[in-house]
Structure 1
Amino acid sequence: MKKKLVIITGPTAVGKTDASLLLASKLNTEIISADSMQIYKYMDIGSAKASKEERNLIKHHLIDIVDPKEEFSVSDYKVRAQGIIKEMHSKDKIPVLVGGTGLYIDSLICNLTFTESAKDADYRIYLEGLAKEQGNNYIHSMLKDIDLESYNNIHPNNLKRVIRALEVYKLSGKPFSSFKEEDIYTSEYDIFYYVLNMQRDKLYDRINERVDIMIENGLVDEVKWLMDYGCDKNMQSMKGIGYKEVLQYLTKDITLPQAVEMIKKGSRNYAKRQLTWFRKDPRANFIHKDAYANEEAIVNKILSDIDNH
């Protein structure tokens, strides 16, 4: 029998933390973070980590585990998270995965083994060069004999996807189109997947307000400290929204009001991308917070789903 895994995700600033803390306390379990910024030490304000008090109440995993000068891949995350999930299952606990990084979540609940490992960089570079010389239609026509379905479904100008289809065929001998959705959306866990959402205007107001609070709480000083620590704009950690803009302000490329506006806009665009990402998974249950009286009502809905499954 598959072991249970609960996922609480949603766009930035939607309010995942409150719901997940309440759910974890009612399930008497622990939280595993699925956030690609919260993995970093010393980056607290811009990544909106749960407070120390909240983390003392409920044990949180995969927060503050990487030095900001180090790289950390999705594969690194997957290995660490799978180990924690296994350990929690052995104690009969239901892990609660919380965070907005879609790639982290998918690494644990999607069958991506092939698409993760199947890469042929040289062939890809060759095809990119060929596209520049001969045009996108030429590359697209290469699909016709080997994968007619992809040829018909992928637009010639979606070069990245066309190249991916050719690369997959070269490596596997199978058409890209044969790797169907049902193969991807399978998991070793019994999944309860929830995407919190709210009215767009309300979400955008929350995002803008949250950015103002981050600035008030000392985001500029946090970035200043990271610069003194040796972090620079080329590091993975400093490419996060909030950090890269303040870094530009501190290096005198932009003013502080410009940085604040850029963070707000970047966060709103990120929220849009997150929702697009979550919508593609047929297992995701969208919870519109406006339809519930409070966090407790949302948590009770999730608990009832788990109990009745």
Structure 2
Amino acid sequence: MDEKQKLLVIIGPTAVGKTKLSIEMAKRYNGEIISGDSMQIYRHMDIGTAKITKDEMEGIPHYLIDIKQPEENFSAAEFQVLVRDKINEIAARGKLPIIVGGTGLYIQSVIYDYQFADVPGDELFRLQLEEKARGIGNEALYQELLAIDPESAEQIHPNNVRRVIRALEIYHLTGKTMREFQSTQQPDLLYQTALIGLTMDREKLYDRINARVDEMIEKGLLQEVKGLYQQGLRQCQSIQAIGYKEIYQYLDGEITLQQAIEDLKQNSRRYAKRQLTWFRNKMDVQWFDITDVKNFEKKLLEISHYVEGKLQVKSNTY
């Protein structure tokens, strides 16, 4: 049997410190980085998605950043194809592929043998739903999905009718929600994977999230979102991202700027909590607590030992 391709994956909640660790790992193990973030794929959305800067990259190649326009949709299935191709390209150059991000479903779809098309289609049912969407509207159809499969609905924008219909179709054909159906697949890991999760004391993480939001505002988040707002971008997946939808409410005159900032902080904290729950429930992660950032070098050594044991790679820093 062929030996599986080596792959390092770094996950964790927003603002925990994944970017810093990923650069260190890439330097140590001759790696190149693939973004595992569902929003950093969008151009012109840099501050609100905490996109890595050229300086922060320290010369390490990064992929799947700035590949879509804000009005375009993007799915886990498309991500799966793009990332698997990129893993092969990086490995062919003799480099270690490193996926870094916080979008659990996207990363899960890549590293496990998930078959998105395993449920057969029901064309008649699908056509009926398409007709229904035209009659009652996208939001009403979305509410139907929310009632039977809230977990999937949370991952789908109401105007992404194709995905809403697909989730309803799976339920119609199997009697299971999309997530329940996927859990019955019992997929295998496709790669020789070191799956590292970063965590820290919740209060400290929340303080970091709040500070990051303040920094985003200082860096010009308001101007960034205004640019999208003035282009008339509305009913699209990207604008539902945390950091954009709150500022849109302010620009629409629904809430004050201060309220928008508070909502952004609260939504980011809630998102971090959901990320941790997802990773702990869905993936076999080796967790490392990095609450004590003063001991980062010590923690880096601990993580490095784990990676070397799991992937049989050698550090080029020794």
**Does the alignment reach a TM-score above 0.5?**
yes
Give the alignment's TM-score, normalised by structure 1: 0.79
Partners of 1:235 and 1:178 lie apart in 2 by 26
Report the equivalent of 1:44: 46
- CA contact 2:23–2:58 (8 Å) conserved in 1: no
Equivalent residue, structure 2, for 1:142: none
Q: Secondary structure at the match of 2:149?
A: helix
User: Per-residue deviation at 1:180?
Assistant: 4.3
- Corresponding residue for 2:303? 302
What amino acid is aligned across from residue 173 of structure 2 in structure 1?
E
Range moving further from structure 2, 276-285 or 100-109: 276-285
Q: Partner residue of 1:167?
A: 173
**Match of 1:212, SS?**
helix
Partners of 2:36 and 2:68 lie apart in 1 by 14
Residue 111 of structure 2: which of 109, 112, 116 is its match? 109
Runs of 4+ off more than 4 Å: 114-126, 163-166, 176-181
Q: Which amino acid aligns with 1:284?
A: V
Q: Partners in 1 of 2:182 and 2:209 — Cα distance? A: 40
Partner Cα distance (2:223, 2:256) in 1? 15
Q: Which residue of 2 aligns with 1:254?
A: 255
Task: State the identity as a percent.
Answer: 43
Partner of 1:278: 279
Q: Is the 8 A contact 1:123 1:167 kept in 2?
A: no
Question: Residues 282 and 76 of structure 1: is their aligned pair in 2 closer, same or farther, counting only changes over 3 Å?
Answer: closer
Q: Deviations over 1:85-136 (max 9, x none)?
A: 001111222111001011110110122205765555866999xxxxxxxxxx
Contact 2:13 2:276 in 1 (8 A): yes
Specify the SS of the correspondent of 1:30. strand
Q: Are 1:188 and 2:190 matched, yes or no?
A: yes
Aligned residue type for 1:3: Q
Q: Deviations over 1:224-277 (max 9, x none)?
A: 11123x242311111100101101111211110110011011101101110111
User: Structure 2: which 5+ runs fail to align?
Assistant: 129-146, 151-167, 311-318
AA in 2 matched with 1:262? D
For 1:177 and 1:72, how far apart are their aligned partners in 2? Answer: 21
SS of the aligned residue for 1:113 comes to coil
Counterparts of 1:1-309 in structure 2 under 5 Å?
1-113=3-115, 117-118=119-120, 120=122, 159-160=148-149, 167-168=173-174, 180=184, 183-184=186-187, 186-228=188-230, 230-290=231-291, 293-309=294-310
Structure 1's unaligned 5+ residue stretches are 127-157, 171-175
Say if 2:204 and 2:291, in contact at 8 Å, map to a contact too: no
Determine the C-alpha separation between the residues in 1 that align with 2:210 and 2:182.
43
- Aligned residue number for residue 131 of structure 2: none
Q: How far apart, CA to CA, are the structure 2 residues paired with 1:38 and 1:177?
A: 28
User: Which structure has the larger Rg?
Assistant: 1
Length-normalised TM-score, structure 2: 0.77
Q: Please, what is the CA RMSD of the aligned residues? A: 2.9
Q: Distance in 1 between matches of 2:212 and 2:283?
A: 30
Whole-Å Cα distance in 2 between the matches of residues 265 and 210 of structure 1?
A: 12
Query: Is the CA contact (8 Å cut-off) linking 2:13 and 2:102 kept in structure 1?
Result: yes
Secondary structure at 1:111's aligned position in 2? coil
Question: Residues 124 and 269 of structure 1: is their aligned pair in 2 closer, same or farther, counting only changes over 3 Å?
Answer: farther
Moved more, 86-95 or 213-222: 86-95
SS in structure 1 opposite 2:253? coil
Deviation at 1:223, TM superposition (A): 0.6
